[in-house]
Chains A and B, each alone.
Chain A
Amino acid sequence: GEDVEQSLFLSVREGDSSVINCTYTDSSSTYLYWYKQEPGAGLQLLTYIFSNMDMKQDQRLTVLLNKKDKHLSLRIADTQTGDSAIYFCAEVNNNAGNMLTFGGGTRLMVKP
């Protein structure tokens, strides 16, 4: 079955690093995604990682994938107040038209 889990809340100070964690269950997922959602808005694709990679870096974002443990993390370096939002990880089901299964989201609060 598909189940993606995330912690509910993370609070950091501006300038610190944030690490948001996610566990997933579908080992056949070829891609795993991180989306950002600001209040009242749709979902913005932040980054993704292919399942045969361990790490991907994109400016302030670093994604780590531990496929053995089915654990995904998103690190945001030098976190800014504009990074305050809800972050969702998602796994893709390649057998169902690339349907995405989302976690419940982690609310990141950045304090000045």
Chain B
Amino acid sequence: DTGVSQNPRHKITKRGQNVTFRCDPISEHNRLYWYRQTLGQGPEFLTYFQNEAQLEKSRLLSDRFSAERPKGSFSTLEIQRTEQGDSAMYLCASSFPNYGYTFGSGTRLTVV
């Protein structure tokens, strides 16, 4: 297991299009987190899963954002009707409860 894997590494999309990012966590980790990082800022929490259950989603930025983890393994984050303000780095992390996170390298989204 090589760690947390995120795909794609970069995504350029036109405003109004939908995008989907994938995260493959470390296989033994039952928690999976999504964060967003804009330029010059620290990462901002979006949502997390314990196994397949999404236990916190109130911090998703708008109803255009949704996440799934259908079988408790990989996860997807979808942004519908993208806006220029959605341009950011989207980071995924996984962990055991009460242990530190392992972050992936992120997906950089550019909305033009």
Residues of chain A whose beta carbon lies under 8 Å from any beta carbon of chain B: 4, 30-31, 33, 35, 41-45, 48, 88, 90, 96-105
Decide if B40 is an interface residue (CB 8 Å cutoff). Answer: yes
Check A97–B48 contact: CB distance below 8 A.
yes
CB within 8 Å: A-B pair count: 56
Contacts of B2 in A (CB 8 A): none
Which residues of B from 10 to 60 have beta carbons under 8 Å from A?
Answer: 31, 33, 35, 40-45, 48, 50, 55-56
Distance to closest chain A CB from B84 (angstroms):
21
- 15 A-B pairs (CB sep. < 8 Å): A31-B100, A35-B103, A43-B91, A43-B103, A45-B100, A45-B101, A45-B103, A90-B42, A97-B33, A99-B33, A99-B48, A99-B56, A100-B45, A101-B45, A103-B42
Interface residue tally of chain B, by bracket? 20 to 34
Contacts of B97 in A (CB 8 A): 98
Check A42–B104 contact: CB distance below 8 A.
yes
Considering the complex of A and B, which 6 residue pairs feature the smallest CB-CB distances, nearest first? A102-B42, A42-B105, A43-B103, A42-B103, A99-B45, A97-B48
Decide if B62 is an interface residue (CB 8 Å cutoff). Answer: no
Check A98–B95 contact: CB distance below 8 A.
yes
Contacts of B95 in A (CB 8 A): 98
Q: How far is the CA of A104 from the CA of B43 in the complex (A)?
A: 8
